[in-house]
Amino acid sequence: MTGKIYGSIEGGGTKFVCAVIDEENQILVEARVATTTPEVTLESCLEFFRRQEHLLGRLTALGIACFGPLDARRSSPTYGHILETPKAGWANTDVASFFANGLGIPVGFDTDVNAAVLAESLWGAGKGLTNLVYYTIGTGIGAGAIVNGGLVHGLGHPEMGHVYLPRAAGDEAFMGVCPFHGGCFEGLASGPSMAARWGEPAESLTAEHPGWELEAGYIAMAMVGVICTLSPQRIILGGGVMGTDFLFPMIRQKTIEYLGGYIRAKAILEGLEAYIVPPGLGGRSGILGGKALAQRAVKRK
């Protein structure tokens, strides 16, 4: 094989997807490892990459797009760790060093959503943009942001899934499902919140179900919040809940309504079809994001 190949991990609460990806973004091989204990899951991932190095050649670097909260600040003593997570057994796990030591190659590490927004900015729906936000709305709600060309790492990383939103009329009695905040954005609008509120999973609700009106309203409130805060040039919405084609037009319409004519940018006046969009990379934003993190780790070296 000629050309560089990269390892990528998309680490989630139920599975770790491992892949080897070439310079043209072709996924050469991919495997899924169940998320059990860190010892078992990380060891299985490491074995996968060792085996692939044997078959395909030396990996140039590895990128890890991981569930959080985590520490992606390189100057921090706990860089590369998953932090206090409700996911049993995973709190304070040093993920980045495990692979850096195990494979002896540069390792990049960031949140799954920061990785996804990076990949979308390089190759997807945000190509060429310097201010971009990516949300995943599914089992949980998370968001990654690029501001002035750089991923946001300040205090830690953005947690835009946990902003508080005003309650919609008629939804005041619902407690919300976030274990930390009850009725934050994730607590009110994640897939599990829809299942808890309506007694059936989001994917089984028909297009006419009132749950979608409520869902679009909460997402639109979050859109107004991020438009007013970060002034992104585009917002990408991915994740399981966004897999329904009728939801995007409802969100766009409510976002315009809630903005109240205040922001007069061309993209907003034009109706948001090209502004609030699905991922350009489909379901591959996360795994290609891992590759993008790997490439950055090489440049940094």
Residues within the interface to Zn ion (CB under 5 A)? 162, 178, 180-181, 184, 186
Q: Which is nearer to Zn ion, 128 or 179 (CB)?
A: 179
What is d(CA 17, CA 9) in angstroms, rounded to the nearest whole number?
6
Q: What are phi and psi of 151, to 5 degrees?
A: -65, 145
Q: Which is nearer to Zn ion, 29 or 195 (CB)?
A: 195
Beta strands in the chain (DSSP E): 5-11, 15-22, 27-34, 62-66, 107-111, 132-137, 141-147, 150-151, 234-238, 276-277
CB of 222 to Zn ion, least distance (A): 12
- What Rg, from alpha-carbon coordinates, does the chain have? 19
CB of 231 to Zn ion, least distance (A): 24
Q: Which is nearer to Zn ion, 7 or 142 (CB)?
A: 142
Overall size of the chain counted in residues: 301
CB of 104 to Zn ion, least distance (A): 38
CB of 299 to Zn ion, least distance (A): 34
Contact 210, 221 (CB under 8 A): no
DSSP 8-state assignment for residue 168 = P
Q: Which is nearer to Zn ion, 172 or 245 (CB)?
A: 172
Q: Which is nearer to Zn ion, 84 or 245 (CB)?
A: 84
CB of 203 to Zn ion, least distance (A): 22
Residues 6+ apart with CB under 8 A from 183: 164, 165, 167, 174, 175, 176
The residue written with tokens 């034009």 in the block is 270
CB of 141 to Zn ion, least distance (A): 8
CB of 275 to Zn ion, least distance (A): 26
Q: Which is nearer to Zn ion, 27 or 168 (CB)?
A: 168
Using DSSP, state whether 292 is helix, strand or coil: helix
Q: Could you give the residue ranges of the DSSP H alpha helices within the chain?
A: 38-56, 95-103, 112-123, 185-189, 191-198, 210-230, 247-259, 266-269, 285-300
138 sits in which H/E element = none
Q: Which is nearer to Zn ion, 12 or 187 (CB)?
A: 187
Using DSSP, state whether 130 is helix, strand or coil: coil
What is d(CA 86, CA 125) in angstroms, rounded to the nearest whole number?
32
